[in-house]
Structure 1
Amino acid sequence: MAATIVSVINQKGGTGKTTTTINLGSALQHLGKRVLLIDLDPQANLSYSLGITEPACTLADVFTGQHSLAECIQERNGLFVAPGSNELVDIEISLVSQEEREKFLQQMLSGAKGYDYILIDCPPSLSLLTVNALAASHEVLIPLQMEVLTLQGLGQILNTVQQIKGTLNKKLKVKGIVVVMYDKRRKLSSEIEDYLKENIDEYIFQQRIRLNVKLAEAPSFGKSVIEYDASSYGAKDYIGLAKEFITVK
């Protein structure tokens, strides 16, 4: 059975996108799934957060044909990772003049066999790399902070998904919205959550990801929060999210 490919996107930086990609992937792996993480962000925060600082090859090398995807994949605590690098900025520029420039990642991932899930950590912008991710994906996962400005960004993301669905990928769908950095003490959090339920048709995961210092500490040790502290709220929340993620169709 082919892997389910999921783009984790938010066009705003600092929204928990990379944190969600890593820790949802780790949680799925702990539930017995085989998971490949694709670090498509030129900042390569996902790679760094898992202790991959000087990889022999990266996705940039795969895009240029210098290496195959299989050659670049590294294993970290049961997770498989295709590292990113800042050279992806140059790759994006070079793609502009290429035919079928939106389909390069799709072609690359077609050779990734033996995985249950492939999670793509997308750049925090609507770039050509992000379009490549959406064109290659079956589903979209949107991490969302309970902040007023994120609502405007959410509308842009949903519009983008619809545009890609209409032009490049008819099978693309929104898996759901994940509330991250949640603080139940803030009145604003509940107000925005109520607004989402009343105005957004997309699925909102019941499992919220609470603010947790362990989530912030884990990347310093090159680990997911589950590997770093399985008893933490962060680990428990992402395990809960993974269980719900598997059941939502």
Structure 2
Amino acid sequence: MLIYSIINQKGGTGKTTTAINLGAALNRRAKKVLLIDLDPQGNLSYSLGINEFQNSMAEVLLGECKISQILHSNEGLDIAPSDNSLADAELSLAVSGGQERALKTALADISDYDYVLIDCPPSLSTLTVNALLTSHKVIIPMQMEVLSIQGLDQIMNTINKVSTTFSVDLSIEGVLPVMVDQRRKLSQEVRDYILENYDLRIFDSMIRTNVKASEAPSFGRSVINYKPTSNSAVDYMRFGDEILELNA
């Protein structure tokens, strides 16, 4: 079982879209996937049509129920939902102290998945630290824009800080270019800058700008299910295959 955190401390970078559609792509390749919504905004849950539930990741992290008891299914994916109650749970974890491995503990009884994808909040928080300490690898969705470089520095600092503080070796699988407009020269320039100045892989796959990816959550579906011939769906299927190749 491989656990990935999908992280970017800058909002609006396609974390949730990437988590959902990477999961859908892996599922299309006969992999069993668990999606964990670890963002109090609950965008992943909402985007897959999960709007009503009794228990969520808030109760799981507080030890009030098992993760297996909160799961919902859509498109062959298992989803552990969240809503704004997760913010209160995070505060409780932070106040009690020493709860940075609550998620790791909660996942201890889960073993029948090929991939677990964690949609992280856009901040350095107790939830983000929990995700990083649980994960084997990190994926960073990122727009190829100048201001995104500053965000990348923040992510690298966060990962280094967590690695040092908790004596763990966090592996960054790579940077995924998202919302790419191939007509813009800037995208290639930012890509080249990252390759020259950071010891990071940039995935061969890139996710092109496409309105269908924005429409899909309105129908509670991945773009791969909603419009499988769209640029976004094709790109995410290609990305899923790249992830499988890296882990073959």
User: What TM-score does the superposition give when structure 2 sets the normalisation length?
Assistant: 0.97
Mapping of residues 74-93 of structure 1, within 5 Å: 74-93=72-91
Give ranges in structure 1 of 5+ residues lacking alignment: none
Runs of 4+ in structure 1 deviating by more than 3 angstroms, as ranges, are none
Contact persistence 1:7–1:140 (CA under 8 A) = yes
How many residues were matched structurally? 247
1:87-120 deviation digits (Å, cap 9, x = unpaired): 1111111111324210101100111120011000
Selected match of 1:146 from 120, 144, 147: 144
Q: Give the Å deviation of 1:140.
A: 0.5
- Which secondary structure state, in structure 2, belongs to the residue aligned with residue 144 of structure 1? strand
Matching residue of 1:181: 179
Q: Give the Å deviation of 1:73.
A: 0.8
Contact persistence 2:62–2:93 (CA under 8 A) = no
Selected match of 1:71 from 66, 69, 72: 69
Q: Give the Å deviation of 1:56.
A: 2.5
Letter paired with 1:89? A
Measure the CA separation in 2 of the matches of 1:144 and 1:70.
Answer: 31
| Fraction of identical pairs, as percent | 52
Measure the CA separation in 2 of the matches of 1:241 and 1:169.
Answer: 31
Measure the CA separation in 2 of the matches of 1:52 and 1:160.
Answer: 31
Letter paired with 1:106? K
1:117-176 deviation digits (Å, cap 9, x = unpaired): 100000000111001100111100000001111101101111211222223252421011
Residue 125 (structure 2) pairs with residue 127 (structure 1): yes
Mapping of residues 212-231 of structure 1, within 5 Å: 212-231=210-229
Q: CA RMSD in A?
A: 1.1
Matching residue of 1:94: 92
Letter paired with 1:51? G
Letter paired with 1:198? E
Residue 199 (structure 2) pairs with residue 201 (structure 1): yes
User: What TM-score does the superposition give when structure 1 sets the normalisation length?
Assistant: 0.96
Letter paired with 2:68? A
Give ranges in structure 2 of 5+ residues lacking alignment: none
